[in-house]
Amino acid sequence: MPRRNFAEVLIGAVVLLVAAGFLAYAIAHSGRTAYSGYQLYAKFDHIDGLGVGADVRVAGVKVGTVDSATIDPKTYQAVVGLTVRDDLKLPKDSSAVITSESLLGGKYLALSPGGDDAMLQPGQTITITQGSINIEELLGKFIFSASNLATAGKGGQGSSSSTGGSSSGGTSDGGATKGGNTGPGGGGLPPLGGSAGGKSP
């Protein structure tokens, strides 16, 4: 029994050491990572989901990282600092877009090189930008629009049913008018009984 208890304690200690190693590795490789290159900046209205250490990509290939994210106190825009590797020169009319890897994945900064002959110099700002898209907000707008369409459809069906009831009522009135024309007091044909009595002597 003591040997069994010792073996269980030893196995538990090994599992804890392995878990601690994975945790240390995850902490060391998360957040900001060093990337050699030159510094650029870009301003956005929204950077939801884009954090420090996110990838900077061109045509889907990683070419740098996001170094910082601050707020401009004058314009209230988000100022993103990014590092791009030295061997990649970007034209001045290049654009920066915050995009998602997938519906549930993280976000990265996608750069689209322009066609200008002049190149961006270290410390300059990318002026053509597009902020991140809030998927939750888009879903909320879609659900709200769908509910409004459903409500409008129900209202149209109710008015159509009301119109049909008025039409059938008019047919009923028409039947009553016909009955009045064929009665004894009407201007129509006389009753069958009166016609038979006229034939008797």
Tokens of 127: 């002026």
Q: Residue 181 domain-assigned? A: no
Which range (3-7, 42-46, 87-91, 110-114) has the least confidence?
A: 3-7
The pLDDT assigned to 180 comes to 45
- Domain total for the chain? 1
Give strand ranges (E) for 24-60.
Answer: 38-44, 55-58
CB of 57 closer than 8 Å to CB of 46? no
Q: Residue 171 domain-assigned? A: no
Q: 134: domain range?
A: 31-158
Looking at residue 186, the DSSP 8-state letter turns out to be: S
Indicate whether 42 pLDDT > 70. yes
pLDDT tens profile 85-97 = 999 999 999 999 9
CB of 84 closer than 8 Å to CB of 35? no
To the question of pTM greater than 0.75 for the whole model, the response is no
Q: Residue 10 domain-assigned? A: no
- State the average pLDDT for the chain: 75
Q: Residue 50 domain-assigned? A: yes
Q: Residue 196 domain-assigned? A: no
- Whether the CA torsion 20, 101, 48, 72 is positive or negative: it is positive
Neighbours of 99 (CB within 10 A): 13
Contacts of 121 (CB under 8 A, 6+ apart): none
